[in-house]
A and B are shown apart, each in its own frame.
Chain A
Amino acid sequence: MKFLEKYLHKMEPHFEKGGKYEKWNPLFETLATFAFTPKLVTQKGTHIRDGVDLKRTMFTVVIALIPCLIFGIYNTGHWEMAVSEANRNLPYFDMIGTKFLNGLIIVMPVVMVSYAVGLGVEFLFGMIRGHSLHEGFLVSGMLIPLTMPADVPLWMVGLATAFAVIIGKEIFGGTGMNVVNIALTARAFLFFAYPTSMSGDKVWMSGLGDKMASNPEAVDGFSGATALGDLASFMSDKAMVAGEAVQSNVAVQSFSSEYTAWESFMGMIPGSIGETSTMACLLGAVILIFTGVGSLRIILSFFVGGFIMGLLLNLAGGNPYLDLPAYYHLIIGGFAFGAIFMATDPVTASQTATGKIIYGFFGGFLAIMIRVLNPAYPEGVFLAILFMNVMAPIIDHYVVQANINRRLKRLKTT
């Protein structure tokens, strides 16, 4: 590595102020600081610094996302094959290699587009502002593809990424300054700008849309919706035949036989690329919590909030959505993925310890509320988290105010 170090030394003057490639300094610095931890030393204050830096922290999140990515690739490959063979009940753990390869072909371009566009935009801003690339997008670039449906057109991914990085982050000042989660900004942008490509029953399995157009008989009766989408349709038609009193129970029963708790937990169901497997998300959670990168407070209170809302809705009852067992809510849709990877983003979450608990709790609570009580969208997790991102400073304000009041009280009593 001495060779590379020497080369960087040789090139460095060209990129410094007054050098011939001065403009490209942010790019050079990004690459140089990626390859080598720079030789910066402490000047003032503490003479030693903790070994950890933002690069390592962010990279840990990327590592935590790998189980979701790998499982997502396989799951995408599986449903692609299910569609092409027009067999909804295709055995899940069969032809593993082929499915994985197919999934890879579908997923990798999405990942690449997300990173290419996002990093491109960040470099552009870095060059305008004269700073090197900050690490935030390492994580956002992986999160964005994992929230996308398998069949999403690549140009949409690019557009959403550019929107999220510019409007969600750079106009606020870059990494550490954003108000709402970058990846969810991308998701929300597509959801509202191109709703037909982001929801419905055609987009979750790769190739299903095309097949429906060309050969509708082959996939007749083939629901390509997510579990949540399906639940909505169970509510409207499948349960109609039953009597008024049992309507809801029948729907829940037929739903839970189609999507068993085990399959939902493992993620063997259609959905966005990386979100389906609660198991994979929990593996990531273990990494995040153990290393201390993700906040246990937020993750736990998010799940508790969702579960409590689920129980409350069960008490109300009356339709299949309301009657769906509370634990089901935690394992289907993007709930676990949102709780573990989205809500925990330290920049947009509450910053105080007490605030994190309140923030997480209401995040989960609202996610299930929106999911169930909202007729328009079958999924509420990303909306709930975005809403709580906006609310986080207010929560913090009250927590900080409580701290201030304790101090004022002390002043009065003395």
Chain B
Amino acid sequence: MSNTINIRKGLDIRLLGDATKEIKQLAVSKTVSLSPLDFHGLIPKLVVKEGEKVQVGDVIFYDKKNEKIKYVSPASGTVREIVRGEKRKILQVLIDSDGKQTCKKFKVSKVADTSREDLMSLLMESGLWPCFRQRPIDVVADPTKEPKGIYVSSFDSSPLAPDYEFILGDRMDQVQIGLKALNVLCNGNVHLSNRESSQFAAMKEVNHHVFEGVHPAGNIGTQIHHIDPINKGEFVWSINIQDVAAIGKLFESGNVDGKKCIALTGSEVKSPCYYNIHSGSSVSDLVKNNVAGDNVRYISGNVLTGDQKKLEGHIGFYHNQFTIIPEGNEYKFFLTTGWLGLGFDKFSNSRLFPTFLSKSKKFVLDTNTNGEERAFVVTGELEKVFPFDILPMHLTKAAITNDIDGMENLGIYEVAPEDFALCEYVCTTKINIQEKIRQGLDLIASECM
């Protein structure tokens, strides 16, 4: 089963600011956050009130559509504030930490002795269930649907991505237990995709796959498409490898401590490295005394798919990386740094800049769009970075025009917005393709699921 699949269509965006192989500890933030906005389409039902005491693992809210799916506190302390937006929509729940991180205990037995039902209710009760994402639609997995398979990638190929072999090097046994648990969920259809000669190749009881080549080789969507593409009516789940280790830890210790290791990266970080943090930690604690410029953008996640955060914001639930890059909110004179400049500092997938000559130079890229939005003009450029047997431009147009039949025919069930991140990056006409695909998926979810 371990045939090497080489991804040629794609692009490695070489950015400055890779994290050095060193893990620092970050104490739990004074205030941590759990935000329903991290889970697309979730309608939360609160179970705590402001001022209530909580432990790590206590339920904060659950999913209104499926009450069994619980979202738990990443910290022990007191619920300080329930932040609401328009129409009283819950934006986030802020918890004042007491610094002790006392954890709620869950009753666990050995994986081999756990039935599928017991395992599912344990995962939902302990707040680990939202780690499972489902395709189609790219939302938290629906436990009532039987998945065709569960997919795990042991590497991330996006710009400045964290190295999971490094992060999980001493937790391989927990990963193994976690993978065994996944097996229980889907009758042995667990697929693990590795780079060549990865430590994770030693994992047992999974189907191994080897992916080589450029980004998006590490994206779960690319891997599913090349292993066993999703058809209409089928469901697959995916989960991040670090969350697999968290499941293993739950079976080992009986608690969920909300800890994870993330990479602090980007050209504006003084000393980029790894941090052990608690889920929902505040951005200001993470970046304290470590930011080089003052006009910067904080991104929870990577530069292609992450969320923009403010300094007083919190790190997203799904993110294992935090990136800081310069803002590009300044005019650029057309002959020097603008559209007609030589462009020795511009990174491009086209050969319109001299930088294509170097294959190793790393770049400092800012958030400037480098041009205004236009109607689609250039053809064939999206296809160069989209390793699917799907026509990206046609699918995007179907999504823009709310053409449900068109989207179904063109393969919307296989994709998630993140699969289109590179398309959006290279798009000459600066169209927000990920947003369009998300709107298309939402339409499909409401009309066809």
Contacts and interface: CB of A to CB of B under 8 A. Distances in A.
Q: Do A and B bind each other?
A: yes
Interface of A: 1, 4-5, 8, 33-57, 59-60, 132, 134-136, 173-177, 290-293, 295, 346-347, 349, 351-353, 356, 400, 403-404, 406-408, 410-411, 414
A168 to B, nearest CB: 15
Given A1-B336, A403-B410, A174 B375 contact: yes
B370 interface: yes
A188 to B, nearest CB: 22
Contacts of A135: 374
Contacts of A41: 297, 327-329, 366-369
A1 to B, nearest CB: 4
A39 B433 CA distance: 21
B399 interface: no
B299 A47 contact: yes
A176 B424 contact: no
B378 A57 contact: yes
B224 interface: no
B378 A37 contact: no
A50 B338 contact: no
Contacts of A38: 331, 372
Given A41-B328, A291-B350, A1 B380 contact: no
Contact of B338 (A36, A40, A352, A407): A36
A403 B390 CA distance: 7
A295 B332 CA distance: 30
Contacts of B61: none
A3 to B, nearest CB: 11
B334 to A, nearest CB: 6
B263 interface: no
B377 interface: yes
Given A55-B340, A410-B231, A290 B351 contact: yes
A44 B340 contact: no
A307 B330 CA distance: 52
Contact of B331 (A5, A47, A290, A408): A5
A37 B370 contact: yes
B334 A37 contact: yes
A411 B231 CA distance: 6
B421 A54 contact: no
Contacts of B153: none
A291 B352 contact: yes
27 contacts: A35-B338, A36-B334, A37-B331, A37-B334, A38-B372, A41-B367, A42-B367, A44-B435, A45-B424, A47-B323, A49-B371, A51-B347, A52-B370, A53-B372, A53-B428, A55-B339, A55-B371, A56-B339, A135-B374, A174-B375, A177-B375, A293-B352, A356-B380, A404-B410, A407-B411, A410-B229, A411-B232
A394 to B, nearest CB: 15
A404 B409 contact: yes
Given A37-B371, A293-B352, A403-B390, A47 B434 contact: no
B352 A57 contact: yes
Nearest to A297: B380
B430 A53 contact: yes
Interface stretch (B36-44, B277-285, B300-308): B300-308
Interface of B: 13, 229, 231-232, 297, 299, 303-306, 308, 323, 325, 327-334, 336-340, 343, 346-353, 365-372, 374-381, 383, 389-391, 393-394, 409-411, 417, 421, 424-430, 432-435
A347 B376 CA distance: 8
Nearest to A35: B334
B375 A52 contact: no
Given A50-B350, A135-B374, A406-B389, 10 more contacts: A40-B369, A41-B367, A49-B368, A49-B430, A54-B372, A57-B377, A57-B428, A356-B380, A403-B389, A411-B232
A39 B380 CA distance: 28
Nearest to A41: B367
Main secondary structure on chain A at its contact with chain B? loop
Nearest to A405: B409
Contacts of B426: 50, 52
B339 A346 contact: no
Nearest to B435: A44
Nearest to A34: B334
B353 A52 contact: yes
A244 to B, nearest CB: 51
Contact of B352 (A46, A48, A60): A60
B428 to A, nearest CB: 5
Contact of A176 (B308, B352, B375): B375
Contacts of A43: 308, 432
A176 B409 contact: no
Nearest to B266: A47
Contacts of A176: 374-377, 429
Contact of B421 (A46, A57, A291): A46
Contact of A291 (B334, B351, B411): B351
B369 A33 contact: no
A138 B103 CA distance: 65
Closest 6 CB pairs of A and B: A53-B371, A51-B346, A176-B375, A37-B338, A36-B331, A45-B434
Given A41-B368, A400-B391, A51 B375 contact: no
Given A49-B369, A290-B351, A353 B380 contact: yes
Contacts of A57: 350, 352, 377-378, 428
